[in-house]
Amino acid sequence: MVPTTDYYEVLGVSRDASTDEIKKAYRKLARQLHPDVNPDPETQERFKQVTGAYEVLADPKKREMYDLGGDPLAAGGGAGGGFGPGFSFTDIMDAFFGGTATRGPRSRVRRGQDALVRLKVDLAEAVFGATKELQVDTAVVCTVCSGAGTSAGAQLATCDTCGGQGEIKQVQRSFMGQVMTSRPCPQCQGFGSVNPNPCVECGGDGRVRSRRTLTIKIPAGVDSGTRIQLAGHGEVGPGGGPAGDLYVEIAITAHPVFTREDDNLHCTLKLPMTAAALGTNVELETLDGKEIIEVRPGAQHGERIRLAARGVPRLRGTGRGDLFVHIEVQTPTKLDARQEELLRELAKLRGEEYVAGPGTVAQQGNLFSRIREAFKDGLS
């Protein structure tokens, strides 16, 4: 029986075309005619013809049969121009992506996951850096089987279900004909092999959990949220695979005196009213040691004194931030009779007649007069 369809003409290739030329022609046509791209019924029929032609001409035996005058699709009972027996869905994937979409058995050895731990650091350690020991609980290589996952002297066995391929194939019918699909083997989970004698220590995983101690260097200038990467110190992978990375996230504990704002430090210096008025020198214990703070006479509440380069080292860059000392003037809340008398006398000497005792009305005339005079002087 002479074939009624010229498969070479359908693909647009010559009768002496090579296998690569046939594949190239099919890929080009499949991208143009695939139903997902062009759902027109006539185009779908054309796509079936192109696919049938490719099935015949890409298979050396079927092509030879066709060249001798037979029709392999008709002989195999396939629908004319459709998908004949043995046609794989990977041919369509090959047409669209330029490669064969096969998986094969997957490796039992895989990279481990990254791990994250948090480490508390006090402010002084963050400012000057430190070396600390850190205990981590992660997966390590099983010392009994050395990561193989099998008992002593045992070996993995080829999976009987998939024959070591790691996947099983299944033929399904669709509007395009018969399509061959593949999925991971349920017996071996896609590995292509089974472990009949797993290691009693790790249960065949090739790794166990263990606590170990690491020495970590904290660089000067770290802040809460800073992460330090330790390459290869994370979880060991299944099958004794390479370890992931360990990330150490820094958490700065609160300090009783200093607070941090970016690379600067802040603290509060409480002064009695008299010391703020007269001025004084105060010894302050900073993170760098003792410092003498000079408070000028007449210091006001809320003023701040800057100590240069007494802050936090810049993690990215050079130099250090500053230390700001905020003055908090404390007003006495309880006065005895003599103290009150002296304060009132001082108020009179300074012309502050608006100072009044409890239950009296302050006389503010002199105050308003001074404000008025100052305002006039400013306009003149």
pTM to 2 decimals? 0.63
- The response to whether 162 counts as a known ligand-binding position is yes
Name residue 102's amino acid: T
Of 249, 254, 276, 289, give the one whose Cα is nearest residue 128: 289
Is residue 253 scored above 50 in pLDDT?
A: yes
- Quick one: 259-330 is in which CATH superfamily? Urease metallochaperone UreE, N-terminal domain (2.60.260.20)
Q: Which of 14-18, 41-45, 46-50, 140-144 bottoms out in mean pLDDT, i.e. has the lowest? A: 41-45
Domain edges within the chain: 7-97, 104-153+199-254, 157-194, 259-330, 337-379
The per-residue pLDDT for 80 is 39
In the chain, the largest separation of any two C-alpha atoms, in whole Å, equals 132
C-beta neighbour count of 230 within 10 angstroms: 17
Is residue 239 scored above 80 in pLDDT?
A: yes
* Residue 209 burial by Cβ neighbours in a 10 Å radius (0-12, 13-18, 19+): exposed
DSSP code, position 150: B
Is residue 40 scored above 90 in pLDDT?
A: no
What average pLDDT does the structure give for the chain? 84
Parallel, antiparallel or unpaired: strands 264-272 and 323-330 = parallel
Residue-wise burial string across 25-39, b where 16 or more C-beta atoms lie within 10 A, e elsewhere: bbbebbeebbeeeee
The per-residue pLDDT for 103 is 59
Of 103, 8, 111, 96, give the one whose Cα is nearest residue 52: 8
Is residue 163 scored above 70 in pLDDT?
A: yes
Is residue 355 scored above 60 in pLDDT?
A: no
Q: pLDDT tens-digit profile of 84-142?
A: 434 444 445 544 444 444 456 889 999 999 999 999 999 999 999 999 999 999 999 99
Strand, coil or helix: what is 191? coil
Are 167 and 183 a contacting pair, CB within 8 Å? yes
Distance, CA of 308 to chain centre: 37
The per-residue pLDDT for 2 is 46
Residue identified by tokens 């003792």 is 290
Is residue 168 scored above 60 in pLDDT?
A: yes
- The response to whether 267 counts as a known ligand-binding position is no
**Per-residue pLDDT band at 362 (split at 50, 70, 90):** low
The per-residue pLDDT for 87 is 44
**Per-residue pLDDT band at 49 (split at 50, 70, 90):** confident
Strand, coil or helix: what is 329? strand
**Per-residue pLDDT band at 261 (split at 50, 70, 90):** very high
- Rounded distance between C-alpha atoms, residue 213 and residue 108, angstroms: 28
Q: pLDDT tens-digit profile of 297-347?
A: 999 999 999 999 999 999 888 899 999 999 999 999 899 999 999 999 998
For 366-375, what is the mean pLDDT? 50
The per-residue pLDDT for 88 is 46
- Rounded distance between C-alpha atoms, residue 82 and residue 50, angstroms: 8
**CATH number given to 104-153+199-254:** 2.60.260.20
**Per-residue pLDDT band at 77 (split at 50, 70, 90):** very low
The per-residue pLDDT for 174 is 60
Residue identified by tokens 């009132």 is 344
Q: Which tokens go with 370?
A: 């001074």
Q: Which of 67-71, 162-166, 244-248, 309-313 bottoms out in mean pLDDT, i.e. has the lowest? A: 67-71
SS3 content of the chain, % helix, strand, coil (to 5): 25, 30, 45
Is residue 178 scored above 80 in pLDDT?
A: no
Are 181 and 204 a contacting pair, CB within 8 Å? no
For 367-377, what is the mean pLDDT? 50
For 273-284, what is the mean pLDDT? 96
The per-residue pLDDT for 359 is 57
For 284-308, what is the mean pLDDT? 96
Residue-wise burial string across 345-379, b where 16 or more C-beta atoms lie within 10 A, e elsewhere: eeeeeeeeeeeeeeeeeeeeeeeeeeeeeeeeeee
Of 126, 53, 138, give the one whose Cα is nearest residue 91: 53
- CB-based contacts of 300-305 (< 8 A; 24+ apart in sequence): 300/276, 300/327, 300/329, 301/276, 301/327, 301/328, 301/329, 302/326, 302/327, 302/328, 303/327, 305/269
**Could you tell me which residues come within 8 angstroms of residue 50 by beta carbon, excluding any fewer than 6 positions away?**
10, 11, 26, 29, 30, 33
Q: Tell me which architecture the domain covering 7-97 has in CATH.
A: Orthogonal Bundle (1.10)
Stronger pLDDT, 356 or 243, i.e. the higher one: 243
**Could you tell me which residues come within 8 angstroms of residue 342 by beta carbon, excluding any fewer than 6 positions away?**
none
- CATH topology agreement for domains 7-97 and 259-330: no
Stronger pLDDT, 308 or 78, i.e. the higher one: 308
For 8-36, what is the mean pLDDT? 85
The per-residue pLDDT for 353 is 65
